[in-house]
Chains A and B, each alone.
Chain A
Amino acid sequence: MIKPLLSICVLSVLFSCTSSRHVVATAPNNNSGTTARGPVLQLVEKDPGGHSVILNNSIRVVDPNSTLDIAINKKNLVASLPASATNPELTRRLNELKTVLEKEQDAMRNLGDALELFNAGNPNWTSKLSDLYPFVQTILDSPEGSKIYNELQRRQQTGRHILDDYAHLFHVAEVMVKRQEEKIIQEAKDKGSFIQLGVWIEGKNGARPVHVPGFDDYDPSPAYHVQQFLLVLTEEQKEAVLEMSRWSAKFNKNGLAATLKAQFQISKIMAATLNLPSVKHILSLNDTIQTLVNKSNNSLGGAKDALFGLRDELETYTAYLRAKFSRYSQAEYEAHPGDILLSINSDVVDVKFKTEQLTNGFQTKITAIQTNLLSVQKDVRKTVSSLPSLLTSIASRANYEVDSLFNIAVRALQTLKNGEAYRASMYEFTERVKKLSLDNLPDTASLDLESTGTRDIGDKLTLRLVAGQTGTAVQDIEVRKYYLYFCSPYVRTAVGFLFTDPVPLGQHEEGKSLFHYAPSYSILLKGFWKKPEAARQSLSYHRLYSPGIGLNIASIDFNSDGAMEVGLGGVFTIFNDFLQIGYGCNMFDGKGYSFLGLRLPVGAFTIQ
């Protein structure tokens, strides 16, 4: 009975020693990392209130006025160097050894279990022990590991040599990792490899690089503090209110259905493609050629090959168009509007390319048809002879029209704010970002977001750490993306187009339309629905739901006398204020009203 008890005691002593070493060796893997080797960038956010938050894997949001302390974990950096920056075999071996160290605690636990089971006479002890074989093999099957095992002085005698032998083994692994890191650093130096760190802020107007002390030669931007409690309307919002005011006047006068012919242009772009005159011409030309080819297979003479080729190309093109846009013919899209927009943009670019490709090929066909026109039988010659001019006209017109369509799509895309897609081209390093070797790479940097210039909530902060060599493209080691939002209570204004109902919900007043329409704005308290910790982790909380409550002020005209009245009410908003519901009171006659408001994207609608 003494032996197992003794072994438990010794094990607990050993675990306490090894586990503390383990934590150091593996470094808490609580930051978001792009590699299994642990994060290279270790970021701590200090918000204006003095609170520090480790930006670990689950954090997606940072305060727009905070300071980021950036630390570079050089051990993880060395292990994450791309093949181009060092000898890949060295890196592979380093990561193999680091894996051994990371598993030390598990291995020692297995060993302890094996001893317990063995002493209890349980034959399963062997399976516990066999789990350690990969680690033992990784170290001891290498001549270097075996040599270090012999050379290193045993730093701890536990009085129980099986345990001591394994503790010594992991000590050897530590030494091997250090030596391997030194080799890699030397190798990278010999190859002229460098590291660059770039940071960008991406807002409505695209991405711009910002200064990180020690890592670039950019000048700091003028200090800018994002207002946490913003009670006044922005210029953009003021314009929206004016526009909505015009809408509501028309709607109240003529009725909604008769006035509003709003088209969400984006969703119509693709439908419009198939209705472009040139595309229609191409589709009808396809029919003509098809008929011609079917009817006059043997009467096309020397133009036969050109016409058959044209038929095939037109068929391919029209099939492509129909397939490409079939999904846009659906009444409703399930995708997020932003995704649809990106998809449309990509499709339009594709159509542009395919159309150019098709029409560029027309010239050869035109020449072939013209050259061989006399060999075409008389009954179809007239139709065939008209083709060259038709093709020429279609070619120039199609390219012009598709270009116009492309421009519309590009403009529509520009209205999309804060697109999710990571566009690497936006995050290119300029000459002003320093190329730092591993041995002169700063360990830390402090990035004060207030020194990054004008920005707003919803902007994106991107940190990109790369490695490269002169003359070759850099490769990402780690990319971090955060969105700037307040995670504590803040105030924002929102403009809304109200559908007000001055009588109890759903009831009609004789001779009155169901709704009165009114422009309005709300002063909203936001950011208090989740605790700061949770708010930092949820992107949908900020970007999709972003609920708010507050005061709604509406300009209404319930008695339709043309003189505007003021309504004041409480409002709850959700979906980034796109949906607003509340109850208010006409301050002139004291009548209550319920309302539903929408934050309409003014620029996306046309009113005829």
Chain B
Amino acid sequence: MANHTIVLPTDQSAAQKFEDLLWVPNQVFFLVLGDSPEREQFVNNIADMATDWRYIIWAKHPELVIPRLLTLPLRPGVLPLISPFPEDIVGLSISLNNYICRVVRTAHYNEAAQAFLLAETFMQP
């Protein structure tokens, strides 16, 4: 697994780790949510696209990062995320300025690619 893939801890420290990552400059994220063989497969599949400014974060326990996700601003056109957090969300991309740019519901390589494209080019505010 490339060093651009970060697996969050499964304990309470995950929230802090995630928070710390949000403040690292020059990094665009695709956050994968959930812990299942399919998710692991997905993370492995998309790992090769995480180069340069692109990073993959794998939150095996989504509930540890969801409270923070709900506070992040959304790119125009992205439907609002409300609690309870929809379970069908596979992952989402986060821009340099911590905007959620694309929410992905299918564990498809090209879906993640699209999410990265939107997140890395969206520079607002």
Contacts and interface: CB of A to CB of B under 8 A. Distances in A.
A149 B54 CA distance: 19
Given A115-B52, A119-B52, A141-B77, A149 B110 contact: yes
Nearest to B114: A140
A162 B110 contact: no
Given A123-B26, A150-B108, A165-B117, 13 more contacts: A125-B26, A126-B96, A129-B121, A130-B121, A140-B118, A149-B114, A150-B110, A150-B114, A161-B113, A162-B51, A162-B52, A162-B116, A165-B116
Nearest to B115: A140
Contact of A169 (B49, B117, B120, B123): B117
Interface in A456-514: none
Classify the secondary structure of A's interface with B.
Answer: helix
Given A115-B52, A165-B113, A126 B108 contact: no
A285 interface: no
Contacts, number: 57
Interface of A: 115, 118-119, 123, 125-127, 129-130, 132-133, 136-137, 140-141, 146, 149-150, 160-162, 165-166, 168-169
A484 to B, nearest CB: 52
A255 to B, nearest CB: 84
9 contacts: A118-B52, A118-B53, A129-B120, A130-B122, A130-B123, A133-B122, A149-B110, A166-B117, A168-B113
Given A126-B96, A136-B117, A141-B77, A162 B54 contact: yes
Contacts of B113: 149, 161, 165, 168
Contacts of A115: 52
Contacts of A141: 77
Given A126-B123, A162-B49, A162-B54, A140 B111 contact: no
Most chain A beta carbons < 10 A, residue from B52, B77, B102: B52
A150 B48 CA distance: 17
B121 A136 contact: yes
Contact of A161 (B51, B102, B108, B122): B51
Contacts of B54: 162
Contacts of B110: 149-150, 168
Interface residues of B, number: 22
Most chain B beta carbons < 10 A, residue from A119, A126, A129, A130: A126
B111 A150 contact: yes
A133 B97 CA distance: 14
Nearest to A161: B49
A123 to B, nearest CB: 8
Given A150-B111, A161-B51, A137 B26 contact: no
Contacts of B48: 161
A125 B116 CA distance: 16
Contacts of B77: 141
Contact of A136 (B26, B53, B118): B118
A496 to B, nearest CB: 69
A169 B110 CA distance: 10
Contacts of A166: 117
Contact of A133 (B53, B108, B114, B121): B121
A129 B123 contact: yes
Interface string B36-68: 000000000000110111100000000000000
Nearest to A134: B121
A170 to B, nearest CB: 11
A115 B53 CA distance: 9
A133 B123 contact: yes
B121 A118 contact: no
Given A149-B110, A160-B51, A161-B49, A118 B26 contact: yes
Contacts of B111: 150
A137 B118 contact: yes
A456 B121 CA distance: 59
Given A126-B96, A133-B123, A140 B52 contact: no
A132 B52 CA distance: 17
Nearest to A130: B123
Contacts of A129: 120-121, 123
A165 B119 CA distance: 13
Contacts of B108: 150
Contacts of A136: 117-118, 121
Contacts of A137: 118, 121
A50 to B, nearest CB: 51
Contacts of B51: 160-162
Contacts of B122: 130, 133
A143 to B, nearest CB: 11
A132 B121 contact: yes
A286 to B, nearest CB: 67
A119 B51 CA distance: 11
Interface in B7-56: 26, 48-49, 51-54
